[in-house]
Amino acid sequence: MAFEQSDQDVVVGTHAPARSEAQVAGFLRSVYGWMCLGLAITAGTALWVSNTPGLVQSIASNRLLFWGILIAQFGVVIYLSARVQRLAPATAGLLFTGYSALTGVFLSLLLLIYTAQSIASTFLVSASMFGALALYGTVTRRDLSGLGQFAMMGLFGVLIASVVGIFWQNSMFQFVLSVCGVVVFTGLTAWDAQRLRALALALPEGRSGSYAIVGALKLYLDFINLFLFLLNLFGRRR
């Protein structure tokens, strides 16, 4: 199931005021640093929960708890994206780390479904794809807004289909959904990376803190969803 990515972004024009490459690099370092921290928290939480049988049983058997975790995740994403201009960096950081931990709780179930080897190999493939796409989006001079808008339309379709897939367990449907999900998040990764560079050029001095964390959240969502759809395509179940 795809996690929601809000489209309530800061609109950045193509004629943003110029800033030095050092300032842009600093902003991007902060973005990717927060993203890596979030992934580390998610992985650590998933491992801890998967090794706590009682907690795993509660999540798997309690529908209310399961849906509560999903709703809380969506709520944090929407809140962070909508209030990025008003949030203090410390608050944004706390919400992001909390979201990462909630995602780890949800993904802990995957460690019981798929083999460790397939999870590790899929993670490496996802990281390689993500790194190449993010680099392309950052350095290319080509305007990717057309690709991004197409990917955003595809995202809404994937979200709706993912909800349908929870109740309709059909192997061919899941296969097609996973292929579409990989295509959508491939486009979103490159587009988001390009928009973050544009945002770094446009932000006033001293305003990067919360925006860097929300930017990290966007890339984090791109990576997690790319990983999940690839795992659904190629992962080996226990």
- Banded pLDDT at 17 (limits 50, 70, 90): very low
Domain of residue 195 covers 21-234
Q: What is the pLDDT of residue 80?
A: 86
If one compares 185 and 24, the residue with the highest pLDDT of the two is 185
Q: What is the pLDDT of residue 140?
A: 92
Q: How far apart, in Å, do the first and last CA atoms of the chain sit?
A: 20
**Could you report the per-residue pLDDT of 77-93, keeping only the tens digit for each?**
888 888 877 888 888 89
Residue 31 lies in a domain: yes
Name 196's bridge partners: none
For 133-149, what is the mean pLDDT? 93
Using DSSP's 3-state secondary structure scheme, residue 50 falls into: helix
Q: How far from 77 is each of 16, 33, 80, 186, 233, CA to CA, in Å?
A: 26, 18, 5, 20, 26
Q: What is the DSSP letter of 28?
A: H
Full DSSP string of 181-227 = HHHHHHHHHHHHHHHHHHHHHHSPTT-HHHHHHHHHHHHHHHHHHHH
Q: What is the pLDDT of residue 30?
A: 93
pTM of the model: 0.85
Backbone angles phi, psi at 151, to 5 degrees: -65, -35
Residue 198 lies in a domain: yes
Q: What is the pLDDT of residue 204?
A: 67
Tokens read off for 81: 């994206």
Is the model's pLDDT at 7 over the cut of 80?
Answer: no
Residue 59 lies in a domain: yes
Is the model's pLDDT at 8 over the cut of 70?
Answer: no
Q: What is the pLDDT of residue 6?
A: 47
Angstrom distance (rounded) from CA 191 to CA 143: 9
**Could you report the per-residue pLDDT of 111-121, keeping only the tens digit for each?**
888 998 999 99
Residue 6 lies in a domain: no
| Mean pLDDT of the chain, nearest integer | 85
Residue 100 lies in a domain: yes
Q: What percent of the chain has pLDDT over 90?
A: 50
Residue 7 lies in a domain: no
Q: How many domains does the chain have?
A: 1
Residue 90 lies in a domain: yes
- Banded pLDDT at 188 (limits 50, 70, 90): very high
Residue 81 lies in a domain: yes
